[in-house]
Amino acid sequence: MSATRDPWDWLTDQLEAFLTAWEEHESSGPPAIATYAQAVLEAGDLNAEEAGDLQRTLLAELIKADIEYRLLHSVAPPLEDYLSAHASLRELPVDLLHEDYHLRRRAGEEVSVEDYCERFPGQAEDFRRLLGLDLPEATTTLYASKRPPLFQLGDLVADEFRLLAMLGEGSFARVYLARQESISRLVALKITANRGHEAQTIVKLDHPNIIRVVDQRDVPVENMRLLYMEYAPGGTLHEVVRRVQATEPRTGDLLAESVRESMERGGLEASFPATLREAAWPRIVCDLGIQLALALDYAHSQGVLHRDIKPANVLLGANARPKLADFNTSFDSQLEGVAPAAYFGGSLAYMSPEQLRACNIRCNERADSLDARSDLYSLAILLWELLHGQRPYHDAAPTGDWSTLLSEMAQRRESGAPRGASGGDPLSRDLQKVLAKCLEPDRERRFGSGAVLARELQLCLNPDARRLVALEHGRLGRFALARPLLALLIVVVAPNLLAAGLNFAFNWNWVWENARDATRPFLFIQGVINVVAFSLGLLWVARRFRPTTRTVEQRVRGERVPPERLQQARRLALEAGPYSAWIGVSLWGVAGVVYPLALHLKVGTFPWNGYPVFIVDLITCGLIAGSYPFFLGSLLAAEVFFPVLLDLADIPHDEAAPLQRLSRQTGLYLQIAAGVPMVTMLLLIPLVFSSPEAKDVYQPALIGLLIAGIFGLFGTWKAHLRLQRILDALCYVVRPITL
């Protein structure tokens, strides 16, 4: 056993070898348990205590298998004989006692609970309790209770399928590449013992990332079931994981070469684009994860839980597309008369803590308490192993009986942080964060569906989008989330205050030089108009967007908000910029008429050349009030409000439409911002050179407005670029996930 090899993998391999030897025993006799148990001590990678613990665990599993096979052929010796023959098994594990009782009862032997309790008084209490639990027998053993029949390559199975190559085998089944003679079609033929509801489960699943089942056939004479299905020639992710463990650095070429070699073994040619071969490995892992998460989401929507997600159960197509297979341990809620525990099992190393507890005959967790989040936990372990070459939790050498082992594995997942959860490039770090959330011990803190996980993985491929959804804001962003209405009013009023300041400075200068007797009425009118206009503008904005800011506050507090309200709040939030702009333009337009009329009425006479001065100035201020609040309000809405109002689990198909509409409007408002200095210069130049006195009055104002306009244009251009990038990222977030 390699020092880096997982002890559970090694233990399973030894058990598989023992089962294979039993099936071939007719030529060489039954295999000797001691031979396989002794291999632990000869491995040399473990200290004496670890080796002894692993040997005792393996011995218990070997004895279970030996009893079953001997009962199939004749009779099995009593447990006492096994204990005397293997002194290292210091005390009898209660799960071995439990398994022996059921195996002998199924074989037709007369068994008595009282007899077992008298023979093994030290385990009597636990034994009685286990028999009182309504749990499946498979949860006290590592191997399948009935192995599939063994065939040779070239055999004709069921007078229909010619076996061409062995594609894989496991505890439940053997899978061959076969030719269906009646129609000359290549299929993957899965041969199992006549048990399970896999065909009923998987035949109704139609998804590009789930192996398609053609049909099934029962062969009662040989007690076997044939499941013939789509042939995926690219091997499995198990071979890819082996390459990951031996390759550094990793790129998409690793996946391409694994698929190519598998296809060549089947006599097929393969070619892959350079984009796949040159892709960064974390991107490949993300792509695989997205597809598998969507496949699980589809299966879950059909009422099917997989429960055995692992690399060997993910096949690869000729284009390296991953396809989920082996639903033998899945639970279908729509099959009548099938309890969740009926075919409960799976591979321990990839199980969630709640699934490990449900497997444990000493725990009260029930199989029917598992949901989609358990499958997603297993998928996260698989993806972590693909990314790092090792699983996130190190399951050390077994140190106790079956129940103790399961308890230790569950505790390790509930208390320890994942291995390798630091460092790497930004994509790897983001991917690790997503997977770590899937691996939360508390299932309530995990992603609730495969669709959400797929979207989170997709976001890893777009840093801007991921940053937005992660709500990673600076101090200003956090302030806006804490006081959303105040933040909105600030970004609306600030540009208008700037415009009001420019307006006052320019007009005051003109009035002082040309109509000094109107200075007091000017100050009064300016004050009244500003108070009224600003009050009305703030009131209208607050009233319009209070529902949105209230919803933002609810989301920040963690309150649940109905999806319909969230969608309404998002769409209204995106109107913050355009609405504020039109409020500003409207109020400044009204002020452009009211100012000179009010002065004329108040003073009695007003110089004729004052009207164009006020008009030009108010046009400039109106343009400022129309463009700057648009960008500031839209940035606040898109960067701060929209992401917190977004529920990744419920994104309508048309969510991108308002984002795209706002994106198209940014060009118009950028042109308006560019027009501020241009229009100001064109309209004021004639006034500047109308007389020497006018030049002295207007030239400083013209220069000041031009400088302010240029700086404003630069700021608006930067805001335009930022807003476009944010809107593009949000469109990426809400777009439908395509395979």
Which residue in this structure is represented by tokens 């053997």? Answer: 174
425 and 313 belong to one structural domain: yes
Round to whole Å and give the CA distance between 558 and 563. 14
Q: In sequence order, what are the residues at sequence separation of 6 or more whose Cβ sits closer than 8 angstroms to the Cβ of residue 312?
A: 168, 170, 236, 237, 238, 326
146 is a domain residue: no
455 and 379 belong to one structural domain: yes
Give the DSSP letter of residue 162.
E
Round to whole Å and give the CA distance between 177 and 362. 41
**Predicted confidence (pLDDT) per residue in 65-100, tens digit:** 899 888 888 888 999 999 888 887 767 888 888 889
Q: What pLDDT, on the 0 to 100 scale, is given for residue 334?
A: 37
Domain ends where: 469, 489, 508? 469
DSSP string, 197-263: -HHHHHTT---TTBPPEEEEEEEGGGTEEEEEE---TT-BHHHHHHHHHH-SS-BHHHHHHHHHHHH
Domain ends where: 64, 98, 132? 132
CATH (domain of 171) = 3.30.200.20
Q: How long a stretch of residues is the chain?
A: 739
138 is a domain residue: no
664's tokens: 């198209």
276 is a domain residue: yes
276 and 398 belong to one structural domain: yes
538 is a domain residue: yes
For residue 280, what are the β-bridge partners?
251
> Which of the two residues, 427 and 612, has the higher pLDDT score?
427
271 and 173 belong to one structural domain: no
Comparing C-alpha atoms, which of 504, 570, 580 is closest to residue 734? 570
Count each helix (H run) and each strand (E run) in the chain, helices first.
Answer: 28, 10
- Please report, for residues 271, 456, 517, the alpha-carbon distance to residue 152 in angstroms, rounded to integers and kept in the order given: 32, 46, 112
Domain ends where: 447, 469, 491? 469
pTM: 0.78
Q: In sequence order, what are the residues at sequence separation of 6 or more whose Cβ sits closer than 8 angstroms to the Cβ of residue 714?
A: none
63 and 182 belong to one structural domain: no
168 is a domain residue: yes
576 and 429 belong to one structural domain: no
151 is a domain residue: no
**Predicted confidence (pLDDT) per residue in 329-371, tens digit:** 443 333 333 333 333 334 778 999 998 888 776 777 777 788 9
376 and 495 belong to one structural domain: no
Round to whole Å and give the CA distance between 92 and 29. 27
Residue 47 confidence (pLDDT) above 90: no
Domain count, the chain: 4
Which residue range(s) make up the domain with 692?
A: 475-734
412 is a domain residue: yes
**Predicted confidence (pLDDT) per residue in 514-563, tens digit:** 667 677 887 888 888 889 989 999 999 999 999 999 999 999 999 999 99
Which residue in this structure is represented by tokens 């899965």? Answer: 190
Which residue in this structure is represented by tokens 């197509």? Answer: 317
Instruction: Report the range of poorest mean pLDDT among 34-43, 129-138, 507-516, 656-665.
Output: 129-138
137 is a domain residue: no
Neighbouring C-beta atoms of residue 311, cutoff 10 Å: 19
Q: What pLDDT, on the 0 to 100 scale, is given for residue 97?
A: 87
> Which of the two residues, 44 and 139, has the higher pLDDT score?
44
414 and 285 belong to one structural domain: yes
534 and 420 belong to one structural domain: no
